[in-house]
Amino acid sequence: MRARTKNAKTYHLRVFHALLFTTHYSLYTKHMIRLSGKHSGHIFHVIYLVGFFFALHMALPEYISSSFIGERAGEQWVGIFYTLASLMSILTLVAIPGFLSRFGVYKIIVTTSIVQTLVLIGLSTNPGLMLSGLFFIVFFVGSVLTYFSLDIILEHNTENAKTGRLRGGYFTILNLAWVVSPFIVILVLTDSDYWKIYAISAALMALVAGLTLIHFRGFKDPAYARVPFWNTLSVIYRRKHVRGIFLSNILLHFFYAWMVIYMPIYLHEHIGFPWSEIGIMFGIMLLPFVLFELPAGRLADERYGEKGILAIGFLVMAAATATLPFIQGAEFIIWTVALFATRIGASLVEIMNETYFFKHIESADTDILSLFKTTRPFSYLIAPALGVVTLLLVPYKFIFLVLAIVVLAGAFVALRLTHAQ
């Protein structure tokens, strides 16, 4: 009985610390909003706060979902569920201009928030294989829809001259959630009791639904463009600057996909790091997304433009990634510094991609925006297939050298872009 009481006290203390941690960083968002500019009124406070809670609800399960599925069905089902979720996301994004024209952003965010809350509660009950897979796919697709809809609200309220600053602030807030999420997982998770993470994620999404009901009810949707899919592809191909930034974003998410899939396995199985050290390493690794995106967005707006910073980001990514196969042994500091450097480059590329793209479209261009958002699931479809082929040709560690060469191509793509107006 004493042991059970002690365990209960320990669990409640961990939950309290996690909630305290979350509250601290949500208050920090107000400081970041002030840094993004004086023009940030009430709507930006709400968008940034909703974005933080939404990103945190996505980030928490990211670290445990593959293990959750793998323990129930075997590792082979993990790839199947992620592939199905990516395919469904692509199909949904292609169709989303029609959904927006019919229902509007407000109804979509409210509906997807409530549905995600319910499926996350469902996942917290430890359901069987098929229900777990169904709930996971709905959660994955719903997150894509919500993220897309929040982008429209932000774009609708942003002037071109301030895009870099505001998107830099917004992405800093989102990435802050991703940085703190591993530490919340460490505080809450004991053994394989994943239900706690899904329960916290459900509570966060319920909060998103509540804030949306209160603050976004009066949002006036623009007249959304409804262009046939193949016509949209033709428009993108003819617009050189948009075509180039699409390719840049595919390369970035290809980098993310290979790193997410292959780096944890390499560090744990081949180098020999324990998961506790890998978690800390990854938390530090993600800090550049918080530290550099806001100032980089400001520099793009006020001085240098996106083109040069984007090329520099790809060069830093490629150089840092190329060093990874040659690091010997489980040297925590060396690995942490190397991975941190890769994300310095990635943070610059991420915010420049977003800023450049949104300076070339309007909030009504949902056909182009929906295809832009498919670059992530598309990358997660092709990355594993190309990874399998690569591993047949080279030793495991040299896949990161191949990745560096692929990323290097992004610098040439960046240099061919025109300067955003």
Could you list the residue range(s) of the whole structural domain that residue 367 is in? 229-421
DSSP string covering 173-211, please? Answer: HHHHHHHHHHHHHHHH--TT-THHHHHHHHHHHHHHHHH
My answer on whether 284 and 334 are in the same domain is: yes
Torsion of CA 32, 33, 36, 37, to 10 degrees: -140
**35/112: higher pLDDT:** 112
My answer on whether 22 and 154 are in the same domain is: yes
- Tell me which of 224, 259, 286 is where a domain ends: 224
pLDDT digits (tens, 9 = 90+) for 287-303: 998 888 878 888 877 77
Please give the average per-residue pLDDT across 316-339, as a whole number. Answer: 94
Provide the pLDDT for residue 343.
95
- Token pair 């560090």 is at which residue? 267
Q: Is the pTM of this model over 0.85?
A: no
pLDDT of 320 higher than 80:
yes
My answer on whether 190 and 235 are in the same domain is: no
pLDDT of 242 higher than 80:
no
My answer on whether 244 and 220 are in the same domain is: no
Please give the average per-residue pLDDT across 208-235, as a whole number. Answer: 76
My answer on whether 316 and 220 are in the same domain is: no
**76/213: higher pLDDT:** 213
The b/e string for 347-386 (b: 16+ C-beta within 10 A; e otherwise) is bbbbbbbbbbbbbbbebbbbbbbbbbbbbbbbbbbebbeb
Whole-number Å distance between alpha carbons of 389 and 142? 31
The number of C-alpha atoms within 13 Å of 131 and in the hemisphere containing its C-beta is 11
**366/270: higher pLDDT:** 270
First to last CA, the chain: 68
My answer on whether 179 and 257 are in the same domain is: no
My answer on whether 210 and 193 are in the same domain is: yes
My answer on whether 135 and 197 are in the same domain is: yes
My answer on whether 260 and 357 are in the same domain is: yes
- Tell me which of 224, 240, 275 is where a domain ends: 224
My answer on whether 154 and 190 are in the same domain is: yes
| Domain CATH code at residue 261 | 1.20.1250.20
Tell me which H or E stretch contains 159: none
My answer on whether 393 and 252 are in the same domain is: yes
Whole-number Å distance between alpha carbons of 395 and 383? 17
Burial classification of residue 155, based on how many CB atoms lie within 10 Å of its CB (0-12 exposed, 13-18 middle, 19 or more buried): buried
